[in-house]
Amino acid sequence: MPRHRESRILPYTADLMFQIVSDVEKYPEFLPWVTGLKIVRRVSDTVFDAEMRVGFAGLNERYISRVTLDPVAHTVDVVKTEGGPFRQLENRWRFTPTSESQCKVEFSIAFEFRSMLLNMVAGKAFEVVMGQMAGAFETRARKLSRKTIT
């Protein structure tokens, strides 16, 4: 199963980054390929199921994931539970303060498509997709904090 890990120091607080990643229903406003997202079931204040709709090159899919938030540890865990093109999909965000105004962002993802063809194609495009996704979250943080990255 393909895995990817990424770590960056960003000039934003861990609280802000946690807030952005936790606010999943806003994803269609700034994440490429996310065409819709809604919370379909709340298990608790920090655990919910979310249906994500994604579209790319004429393909449209939807799947449901269990999202677990830990505001104290500044972590967000996501596990696909039903539907969509994935056999498995898990990702984790962790935000660690490094100063009053910046944090270390760690992101890991593991996925496997149901289709072997999609697995082969995704492997080649994966780095581009991850870069665009990371850039979208950084742009969102910059907009919400009104900071400029230097």
Q: Which residue would you say has higher pLDDT here, 126 or 109?
A: 109
Longest dimension (CA), the chain: 46
Residue 142 backbone phi and psi in degrees, to 5: -60, -45
Polymer length of the chain:
150
Report the CATH number of the 3-145 domain.
Answer: 3.30.530.20
Output the pLDDT for position 62. Answer: 94
* Tens-place pLDDT, residues 61-91: 899 999 999 999 999 999 999 988 788 899 9
**35 near 60, Cβ under 8 Å?**
yes
Q: What are the structural domain ranges in the chain?
A: 3-145
CA distance 37 to 54: 9
pLDDT at 148 > cutoff 60: no
Q: Which two tokens stand for residue 77?
A: 């865990």
If we measure between CA atoms, which residue out of 110, 147, 100, 144 comes closest to residue 130? 110
